[in-house]
Structure 1
Amino acid sequence: MGNRSSTPSSEEEGSSSGMYLTPELQGKINTDFEEKIIQTQWNSYRKGHIERYQQREAQNAQRHHELQQKQQQLNQQAKLVHDELDRMVDGAKSKLSDIEVALEYDMKRLSEKFQDSEVSGGEKCVDVRAELSRCYNTLDSGECQVFAKKLEKCVTEALA
Structure 2
Amino acid sequence: MKNIITIITTLAIILTAPVNVSAQMTNSTDFNSQIIYLENGDYLETKIQSEQTKLPLSEISLFTRSTKQITKTKTSTYKSASGKSMWSVSITGTFTYNGSSAKCVSCSHSSKTYTTNWTIKSISSSKKDNSATVNAVVVHTYNNTCKTNINKNVTITCSKNGTIS
TM-score, normalised to structure 2, is 0.22
Bigger CA radius of gyration:
1
